[in-house]
Structure 1
């Protein structure tokens, strides 16, 4: 639709377009997504104030330094932060326009290969947006977006296995750990009516309904395996039997942090609290009498295998060969066309082009269930959780699973396509369903 893109034809038009941008930022899709919201404001403001510029004139350097707070020595060859953030923004815009914004006056997009926001009249819209008081200036937007650099994940030295593909987000983790000290990771102090009432698709409610049986909400266990070392000299998994003086258990991947954020948004809409705690602070006794959601692979989320037994698919860290330390998913009973092992892949120019993730749902007792969402990398984990929150992909699960009885269990393998460290698409490539009613 880029060819039909409409740019500012009058002050009134531009104000209507900016009004739609502000409506998008207030939507449930962008709820809590500060980085994407500020980036959209900046790009939209630039598009509306400089209509004569071409879509390719906006350079990564300009976005990095003007919006994301990068220093003047920013080099896009070694820092993919702009591409990652724009790809995420492009995905969020597509999700918004497909659902909440389907009747909006304009179709707002960022065409691939460009950093320019386009506004195309929506022929099916009859909505009229009130113009905001004024369009923010570049100076105002710069002030609004100056903290973006603090929110962008920075790489640390590679840790073995799952951590070798994990981007650590120190700012996010400090917040999570501080929350743990104050309130044991309760993201909601008490069940309450959501402040944002957003209609949820029936498929979403149906899938998550069993996890709403308890008024206190499900208990979500976040992976945070112990690491040795530090962010300056390098981190690696703390091996069994090691007694290092510099062992830390407060590191986790950005994908796990994003997953918690996504689930918190979902349960806020469902009207239930989401209790989140790091696995290293829990005992099996703490997990009793709760529905459980495990986020992250068993190599880091060590509580998984203490509560449930994974069946046909299990995680393993390679201990030899050129990919030593990489986490894979073993397929113990391959069916026709299935490999014996699922492993993420990369190219010389891209550290990760695809990943695999396991989704497992299994009863714990007569009234409680456990759900596992875990990739072989942190990005795969993020994709698995997103898969469980989207109505269209939940429909795929419904089509694959022949029974939804509480006594049944199933395991699914997702293949995830990744572009610039952003999960873009996921497909179910293996399914196992188990009858446990006679257990």
Structure 2
């Protein structure tokens, strides 16, 4: 029997379907995926209590993920991405742990309505056994069977190595280094995935004839090109996606020019790039010890600096990289963790005075060795111990690549 929508299932059958949903949510496949579990539960309630009623992205966004009333599914693909992830998880579950479950739950492509099917493999096997005469087994068939069994065993071993707990205790094996979980723990427990907002400056001109930053004093806003970003930001997003993959947590990515204050109110945020290009950073809680500022006087006038507002003994007041008219061999970056508009939300700032400094800042918090050094300086060893902090990195650059980063100033526990 299949239940796909238009007829309300009997009470006893609905209870079986909800029991299957409970098995899915408690499974290894959905372990740690709070947002997917929440989505699955919502879709199941809708399918079984309101059969035949369609579901829209807007409805899911506002009722499941707490999006504001002005949510626009045309510009925000969150729901489609989440639905795609859920489809893959369902397929993974029924191909492994749920292979013998009496009920199969599916979400056909093109819809957000779940379908429930009773598995009928036992009956089918009995019918085929009675209908077919006993086969004659030859040596070729035996050899083929052995080869197929060996191939299947290899596949199973590979799958189990990648996704199942190790034998000998049945405990869940965390693939992420402890330093990652201690540092990023605050971004793993929210009801929705954190936003990663990368900088994309406002430019005018054309790539083939030359581009420059938008100047409000002489340029029309209609000429702004806001779909360019630096190579450091691109590599940074890749690094963050890798780390959050190890932590079994998805991230959502948006360029700074499309990010709004409504997005900032109830989400954990990771800003990639300095306020010079990531303009949203100017309107949200930000750093208090080390701030970005363009110098308006002196021999470095016009250059972007990191200003040390309260220098400690032996620290510089200004952190300035290579001069703008010379090859880039040195840069400075800020790594900071601050509270958001909502004190229960976190904001991470990873920003350099150039795109390569930004890349170095992200690499620093995405590499186990450097992260251990930072955590050691702050005396953090366990998830939940992180407190707001701000740090400045000195970055050595060779041939356009950050090759060495070191902490030159740190404020923690504020």
**Contact between 1:294 and 1:370, CA under 8 Å: does it hold in 2?**
yes
- Give, in whole Å, the separation in 1 of the partners of 2:201 and 2:287: 19
- Give, in whole Å, the separation in 1 of the partners of 2:327 and 2:208: 21
1:233-291 Cα distance to aligned partner (Å, 9 max, x none): 22222133542542111111100011001111111222111100011112101222111
Structure 2 counterparts to residues 291-306 of structure 1, below 5 A: 291-306=268-283
RMSD of aligned residue pairs (Cα, Å): 3.0
3-state SS of the aligned residue for 1:199? coil
Which structure is larger by alpha-carbon Rg, 1 or 2?
Answer: 2
Structure 2 match to 1:433: 412
Q: Structure 2 vs 1, CA of residues 405 and 272 (structure 1 numbering), >3 Å: closer, same or farther?
A: closer
TM-score of the aligned structures, taking structure 2 as reference length:
0.56
Instruction: Give 1:434 deviation, angstroms.
Output: 4.6
Structure 2 match to 1:353: 329
Instruction: Give 1:190 deviation, angstroms.
Output: 3.7
Instruction: Give 1:330 deviation, angstroms.
Output: 0.9
Long gaps (5+) in structure 2: 1-73, 93-158, 164-173
**Contact between 2:360 and 2:395, CA under 8 Å: does it hold in 1?**
yes
Structure 1 match to 2:307: 330
Instruction: Give 1:209 deviation, angstroms.
Output: 1.4
- Give, in whole Å, the separation in 2 of the partners of 1:309 and 1:332: 14
**Contact between 1:357 and 1:374, CA under 8 Å: does it hold in 2?**
yes
Instruction: Give 1:354 deviation, angstroms.
Output: 1.4
1:197-223 Cα distance to aligned partner (Å, 9 max, x none): 683211111111110112431111111
3-state SS of the aligned residue for 2:408? strand
Structure 2 counterparts to residues 324-403 of structure 1, below 5 A: 324-345=301-322, 351-364=327-340, 365-402=342-379
Q: 1:287 aligns with which of 229, 245, 264?
A: 264
Aligned residues: 256
Q: 2:401 aligns with which of 422, 425, 428?
A: 422
Structure 1 match to 2:77: 183
Q: Structure 2 vs 1, CA of residues 224 and 286 (structure 1 numbering), >3 Å: closer, same or farther?
A: same
**Contact between 1:190 and 1:216, CA under 8 Å: does it hold in 2?**
no
3-state SS of the aligned residue for 2:277? coil
- Give, in whole Å, the separation in 1 of the partners of 2:78 and 2:327: 35
Structure 1 match to 2:208: 232
Q: Structure 2 vs 1, CA of residues 379 and 185 (structure 1 numbering), >3 Å: closer, same or farther?
A: farther
Instruction: Give 1:322 deviation, angstroms.
Output: 5.3
Q: 1:261 aligns with which of 201, 226, 238?
A: 238
Q: Structure 2 vs 1, CA of residues 347 and 313 (structure 1 numbering), >3 Å: closer, same or farther?
A: closer
**Contact between 1:315 and 1:329, CA under 8 Å: does it hold in 2?**
yes
TM-score of the aligned structures, taking structure 1 as reference length:
0.53
3-state SS of the aligned residue for 1:303? helix
